[in-house]
Amino acid sequence: MATKKMILDLDTGIDDALALALAVEDPRVDLIGIISSYGNTLIETAGQNSLDLLHLLQADDVPVYLGENHSSTTQSFETMPISMAIHGDNGIGNIELEPATKPIETQSGVQFLIEAAHEYGYDLIYLPTGPLTNLAAAIRQDPTVAELIGQTTLMGGALTVPGNVTPFTEANINQDPEAADYVFTHQKNITMVGLDVTLRTLLTKEHTKAWRELGTLAGTQYADMMDYYIDAYDTLDIDHRGAALHDPLAVAVSIDPNYVTTIDLNLRVTYDRESGDYGRTIGDKQRLLDSTTTKVAVNVDNERFVRDFQDFMLDILKN
């Protein structure tokens, strides 16, 4: 029986779709909701993608909420062309899923997060795979959220490797560096699963071939999505060996931290646009002697994770 409750905060692109599948099926966690964010696509599209994926996986009981639809310092959001090149115009590799009949919830995602933090406290895992706008908004509305959530495991940032937007900046942090800095300097019990480790976890078309050979609708559609992602990595010269399992690794680490090696380090995010390193995740020199609130993943047992991930997906997609 699941002992932990999980909330996913997804800008539902292709690797988010994989993360969603793991969270739905892993018996060690109870997925109590998904908050939609912006990033890989627009927030409304991301929310509908999540609903449709839940329907595909026969998990229509999981509610989906809309979070903030743009960063904390802008008035609107437009999907970057590179995001559409990697994830497709609709965020999921231009695959058409059967539409879910269940609508998106009317309650705001931020309010849902605040209420869940109070209800579940230490037993709550909050897992954002996009910008940290929703968590920053929740803390600003209710500062006790920073202490209540038992574990925040995020996919984002880059400490020991270059970013994927600029030489310093990772894409999720780049969407709202001010919110990310606020989270890192306020939220307790954070684990950062960044490019330092996710870039080492590669899936290939040999893996997706096995999904397709299951002969199920879910297997075929997930294989189509992931093949689009792998092709984009190749075409855009990101990696010719396969595509990184960014968001699924974060889900796996939130459940089994032994996949990664971490260091304890209080972080900040630079958000001065004139500094030259806008959006950089870096150690906070003002808190070097303070007790640490953040663990940063710097190494990963990639062979074990990719093997376990493939086993999990084959089990998920067989029905």
Residue 30: which CATH number? 3.90.245.10
What tens digit of pLDDT does each residue of 254-295 get?
Answer: 999 999 999 999 999 999 888 889 999 999 999 999 999 999
**What span, in angstroms and rounded, lies between the C-alpha atoms of 29 and 6?**
6
What sign has the CA pseudo-torsion 294, 300, 306, 312? negative
pLDDT bin (cut points 50, 70, 90) of residue 3 is: confident
The pLDDT score that the predictor gives to residue 1 is: 67
Q: Does the structure show a pLDDT above 80 at 2?
A: no
The pLDDT score that the predictor gives to residue 276 is: 82
**Which of 9, 11, 196, 224 does the annotation list as catalytic?**
11
The pLDDT score that the predictor gives to residue 157 is: 98
**Which of 196, 227, 246, 247 does the annotation list as catalytic?**
246
What tens digit of pLDDT does each residue of 144-161 get?
Answer: 999 999 999 999 999 999
CA dihedral 114, 117, 119, 122 (to 10 degrees): -170
The pLDDT score that the predictor gives to residue 311 is: 97
What tens digit of pLDDT does each residue of 84-117 get?
Answer: 999 999 999 999 999 999 999 999 999 999 999 9
The pLDDT score that the predictor gives to residue 12 is: 97
**What span, in angstroms and rounded, lies between the C-alpha atoms of 240 and 235?**
8
Given a contact cutoff of 8 angstroms between Cβ atoms, the answer to whether 220 and 212 are in contact is yes
Q: What is the chain's mean pLDDT, rounded?
A: 96
**Cβ-based neighbours of 289, under 8 Å, separated by 6 or more:** none
What tens digit of pLDDT does each residue of 33-77 get?
Answer: 999 999 999 999 999 999 999 999 999 999 999 999 999 888 889
In this structure, the number of other CB atoms found within 10 A of the CB of residue 311 comes to 10
The pLDDT score that the predictor gives to residue 7 is: 98
The pLDDT score that the predictor gives to residue 175 is: 95
Q: The domain containing residue 57 runs over which residues?
A: 4-316
pTM of the prediction?
A: 0.96
Element (H, E) at 126: strand 124-128
Q: Indicate if 11 belongs to the active site.
A: yes
Q: Which of 66, 61, 2, 8 has the alpha carbon at shortest distance from 34? A: 8
Mean per-residue pLDDT, 209-234 = 98
Count of domains in the chain?
A: 1
Mean per-residue pLDDT, 211-231 = 98
